[in-house]
């Protein structure tokens, strides 16, 4: 009866001591090296495979370390931004502080926001300027921040120049509350905000901004 490759592989898996009983095969079996046109022994091939795995793990570790460093920088910037909002004693200056500190702290060339339903004393703020009927509808539809190309959004016109990519973050008092504003972050780079990027950090930004701006709103 002829053994198939599957049968042979199953036999070796079930009998790990095979090469202990036939140690001479480890050096006599010749395999093609993946790193050149040469034959290597089974032992050498195993060593090369382990080295390849080690290199892959080293690259993975380097990526994790870079991500950790990036996250630490991002967290530090978020804390500095939140602190700037906390120490802003002038409620009327809060919307401008939200935007200016975001632009400076996170190196965002374009940022703007609009809020609605504000108290009468704040109705004259630029950030409380009237918005189209579609804006509250859009904001209420955002269960999480939107990231992607600028597809002619009305909110993109709030920015100083047309962005290639943008993020839209709804402002609301709680997860189930209706939106009372919309934060827009834009970039001239098409790959700054993409549809496949994570939005958890932007969601945290929206939560902090919302909490800071609540004191400008009329009681609901």
Percentage of the chain with pLDDT > 70?
82
pLDDT at 183: 97
> What mean pLDDT, rounded, does the chain reach?
85
Q: Rounded to an integer, what distance in angstroms lies between the CA atom of residue 135 and that of residue 145?
A: 14
pLDDT at 42: 60
Q: pLDDT tens, 42-87?
A: 666 677 777 878 888 888 887 777 776 677 777 788 889 999 999 9
The model's pTM is: 0.69
Percentage of the chain with pLDDT > 90?
55
Q: Is the pLDDT of residue 39 over 60?
A: no
Identify the band that residue 1 occupies on the pLDDT scale cut at 50, 70 and 90. low
End-to-end CA distance of the chain: 83
SS3 188: coil
Q: Rounded to an integer, what distance in angstroms lies between the CA atom of residue 28 and that of residue 178?
A: 73
pLDDT at 29: 60
Residue 150: DSSP 8-state: -
pLDDT at 28: 60
Q: Rounded to an integer, what distance in angstroms lies between the CA atom of residue 118 and that of residue 125?
A: 10
Residue 123: DSSP 8-state: T
Residue pair 161/188 in contact by the 8 Å Cβ criterion: yes
Q: Rounded to an integer, what distance in angstroms lies between the CA atom of residue 95 and that of residue 111?
A: 11
Q: Is the pLDDT of residue 41 over 70?
A: no
SS3 34: coil
Which of 40, 86, 77 lies closest to 215 in space, CA to CA?
86
Q: Rounded to an integer, what distance in angstroms lies between the CA atom of residue 90 and that of residue 92?
A: 5
Residue pair 185/110 in contact by the 8 Å Cβ criterion: yes
All domains in the chain, ordered by first residue: 62-216 (3.30.450.40)
Token readout for 155 is 């909110």
Residue carrying the six token digits 């790990």: 16
Identify the band that residue 205 occupies on the pLDDT scale cut at 50, 70 and 90. very high
Per-residue pLDDT, averaged over 17-24, amounts to 65
pLDDT at 51: 80
Strand-pairing partners, residue 118, are: 217
SS3 176: coil
Please list, in sequence order, all residues whose beta carbon lies within 8 angstroms of the beta carbon of residue 162, skipping any fewer than 6 positions away.
Answer: 150, 156
Q: pLDDT tens, 142-199?
A: 999 999 999 889 999 999 999 999 999 999 998 889 999 999 999 999 999 999 988 9
């Amino acid at each position: 009866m002829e053994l198939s490759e599957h049968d042979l592989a199953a036999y070796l898996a079930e009998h790990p001591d095979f090469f202990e009983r036939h140690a001479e095969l480890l050096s006599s079996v010749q395999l093609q090296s993946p790193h050149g046109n040469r034959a290597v022994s089974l032992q050498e091939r195993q060593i090369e495979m382990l080295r390849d795995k080690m290199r892959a793990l080293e690259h993975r570790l380097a990526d994790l370390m870079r991500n950790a460093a990036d996250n630490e920088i991002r967290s530090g910037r978020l804390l500095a931004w939140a602190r700037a909002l906390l120490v802003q004693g002038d409620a009327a200056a809060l919307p401008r502080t939200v935007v200016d500190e975001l632009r400076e702290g996170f190196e965002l060339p374009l940022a703007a926001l609009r809020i609605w339903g504000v108290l009468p004393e704040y109705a004259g703020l630029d950030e409380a300027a009237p918005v189209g009927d579609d804006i509250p509808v859009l904001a209420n539809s955002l269960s999480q921040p939107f990231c992607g190309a600028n597809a002619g959004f009305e909110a993109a016109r709030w920015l100083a120049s047309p962005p290639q990519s943008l993020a839209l973050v709804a402002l609301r008092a709680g997860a189930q509350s209706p939106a009372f504003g919309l934060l827009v972050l834009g970039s001239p780079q098409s790959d700054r905000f993409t549809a496949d990027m994570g939005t958890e950090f932007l969601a945290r930004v929206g939560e902090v901004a919302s909490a800071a701006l609540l004191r400008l709103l009329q009681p609901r």
